[in-house]
Structure 1
Amino acid sequence: MYKIPGHHHISMITKNASQNNHFYRKVLGLRRVKVTVNQDDPSMYHLFFGDKTGSPGTELSFFEIPLVGKTYRGTNAITKIGLLVPTVDSLLYWQSRFEDFGVKHGQITKYANHTALLFEDPEGLRMALLVSNGAKIAHWETWEKSGVPVEHQIQGMGTVEITVRRLDKLANTLTGLFGYKEVSRTEKSAIFQSIEGEMFGEIIVNSLDGPSEKPGRGSIHHLAIRVKNDEELAFWDEQVRARGFHSSGIVDRFYFKSLYFRESNGILFEIATDGPGFTADGDDIDTLGEKLLLPPFLEDRRVEIEKNLKPIEEY
């Protein structure tokens, strides 16, 4: 059986691409590695931020929906994103940086058994900086032009929090289908790791009754987990179907191939291949993310697509 090596990317909803671009590039110091569009609805931007090349496991992606409303928090949703930083000194650096930029944040604390600093982006997306203790993704590459010093840069995704009514249903999917290891449990929470002992594939599942979250700006659309190649993706497509879930079938997203399914609580998962990556469209590593790039099947609609997109402001 194949192993899931960790998270691939996570996708959110933003109301304002310019504000979003400013926060993730200028405040968090991530590299914008791709400006493209939602391939299912090219009227909206799809922005990707990550390390130097947008390596799997470092990617935060956002769909811009200008008319989207507020998020009404609830259960059956992905509710927090952990991001890895090297040391406790890094948390002190980020605490000071957040104060300088007016970012909503708490005090250094413990979260999912990790030393952490909780914060929110301008739209209320909930995140946590987690001390990695050397657990960064092996292929992470520093972004030399980041405004954040190398020794404090975000090194990819860590613990992802999912809140559901039926914890055991999601637990069974993670352990029984994908081979995650349950590493701890309390009455209302459990922690799972795709690779035991590693944070970059860690999921904490909280149990919560009540109404389901109504998504809006600052909400999380889906979590994508990694597979190496097309062969592994085809294997997981069969396994998802065999467990009785509806699979989207394999979709070519040009920068990677993937499939989508919802588990029993309604949480949307994507399974995505590591490659071919964000240079597949001919974008040079030195100029990644500097202009709007479209997959080949949308290129003949470029004039129409650009007309419907508001330019992203840099400030």
Structure 2
Amino acid sequence: MFKIPGHHHISMITKNANQNSRFYRDVLGLRRVKVTVNQDEPSMYHLFYGDKTGSPGTELSFFEIPPVGNTYRGTNAITKIGLLVPSEASLLYWKARFEELGVEHGEITTYANHPAILFEDSEGLRMALLVSHGAKVAHWQTWEKSEVPAEHQIQGMGPVEITVRRLDKLASTLTDMFGYTEVSRTDDEAIFQSIKGEAFGEIVVKYLDGPSEKPGRGSIHHLAIRVKNDEELIYWEEQVRARGFRSSGIVDRFYFKSLYFRESNGILFEIATDEPGFTVDGDVDTLGEKLDLPPFLEERRAEIENNLIPLED
């Protein structure tokens, strides 16, 4: 059986692409590696942030929906994103940076058994900076023009928190179908790792009864997990269908190929290939500086650009 090597990307909803860029580039120091559009609804931006090239496992992506309302928090939702930093000294750096820049945050604490700082962006998206102790994504690359010094830069995605009514149902999908290892369990929380002992593929599943979350700005749309290539994606499509889940089938997103399915709590998962990546239509030095469109949308460029509010430099 093929092994899931970790997270690929995670996708959220934002109300304002320019405000979003200012936070993730200027505050968090990530590189905006791709400016494109939602391929299913090209009237909205789809922005990607990550390391120097937007490597799988480092990508935070956002759909801009200007009329979107507030998120009403609840269960059956992806509820927090862990981001890895190198050391305890990095947490001190980030605490001071958040205080200087007015970012809502807590004190240094522990989350998912890692030293951490919990914080939110301006739209209420819940995140945590966690000490990686060397557990960065292997292909992570420093972004030399980041606002953050190299020794404190975010090194990719760590634990992703999912809150559900039926913890055991999601646990079964992760362990029995995808081969994750359950590394801890209490009455209302379980932690799973795609690669045992590594934080960059962790999923923290929390039990919560009550109403489902109503998504809005600052909510998390889906989590994408990694596969290496088309062969592995075809294998996982077969596994998803064999388990009785409805699948989108394989979709060519140009920058990677994907399939989508919802597990029993309604959580949307994407399975995405590592290749070809964001340099397939862009030079490393200028990634994220202009609007890139997949070939099948290129003939509509004038129409698409006319419907988008220009992004600030």
TM range (shorter): over 0.9
Cα-to-partner distance string for 1:260-301 (whole Å, 9 max, x where unaligned): 0000000000000000000112x1000000000100000000
Matched, 1:286 2:285: yes
**SS of residue matched to 1:280:** helix
Counterpart of 1:269 in structure 2 is 269
1:120-135 equivalences in 2 (<5 Å)? 120-135=120-135
1:93-117 CA-to-partner distances (Å, cap 9, x unmatched) read 0000001110000000011111000
Query: Aligned-pair RMSD on alpha carbons?
Result: 0.4
Rounded to whole Å, the distance in 2 between the matches of 1:187 and 1:113 is 16
Hey, what does 1:302 align to over in structure 2? 301
Instruction: Give, in whole Å, the separation in 1 of the partners of 2:186 and 2:200.
Output: 22
- Give percent identity, aligned residues only: 82
Q: Could you tell me which residue of structure 1 aligns to residue 217 of structure 2?
A: 217
SS class of match (1:155): coil
Q: Residue type of the partner of 1:235?
A: Y
* Mapping of residues 241-252 of structure 1, within 5 Å: 241-252=241-252
Q: 1:253, 1:78 → 2: CA distance?
A: 23
**Paired amino acid for 1:221:** H
For 1:286, the aligned partner's letter is: D
Partners of 1:209 and 1:196 lie apart in 2 by: 29
Cα shift readout 1:198-235 (whole Å, capped 9, x = no counterpart):
00100000000000000000000000000000000000
Could you tell me how far apart the structure 2 residues matched to 1:199 and 1:232 are?
22
Amino acid at match of 1:250: I
Aligned to 2:191: 191
| Alignment partners' CA distance in 1, 2:279 and 2:130 | 29
Distance 1:271 1:101 in 2: 36
Secondary structure of 1:305 counterpart: helix
1: CA distance, partners of 2:193 / 2:50: 22
- Taking the aligned partners of 1:109 and 1:279, their CA distance within structure 2 comes to 38
Structure 2 residue ranges without an equivalent (≥5)? none
Give the TM-score of the pair, scaled to structure 1.
Answer: 0.99
Give runs of ≥4 in structure 1 deviating > 2 Å: none
Match of 2:172 in 1: 172
Q: Which residues in structure 2 correspond to 1:16-35 (within 5 Å)? A: 16-35=16-35
Match of 2:118 in 1: 118
Aligned length: 313
**What is the TM-score with the length of structure 2 in the denominator?**
1.00
Mapped partners of 1:292, 1:158: distance in 2 = 29
In structure 1, what is the Cα distance between the partners aligned to 2:57 and 2:138?
10
Deviation per residue, 1:119-140 (Å, 9 max, x gap):
0001000000000001011100
CA distance in 2, matches of 1:199, 1:134: 10
Ranges in structure 1 where 5+ consecutive residues have no aligned partner: none
* Structure 2 counterpart of 1:287, one-letter code: T
> Hey, what's the Cα distance between the residues in 1 that align with 2:191 and 2:91?
23
What's 2:8 paired with?
8
State the distance in 2 between where 1:110 and 1:34 align. 33
CA distance in 1, matches of 2:310, 2:217: 19
Paired amino acid for 2:94: W
Partner of 2:310: 311
Equivalents in 1 of 2:266, 2:94: separation in Å?
A: 34
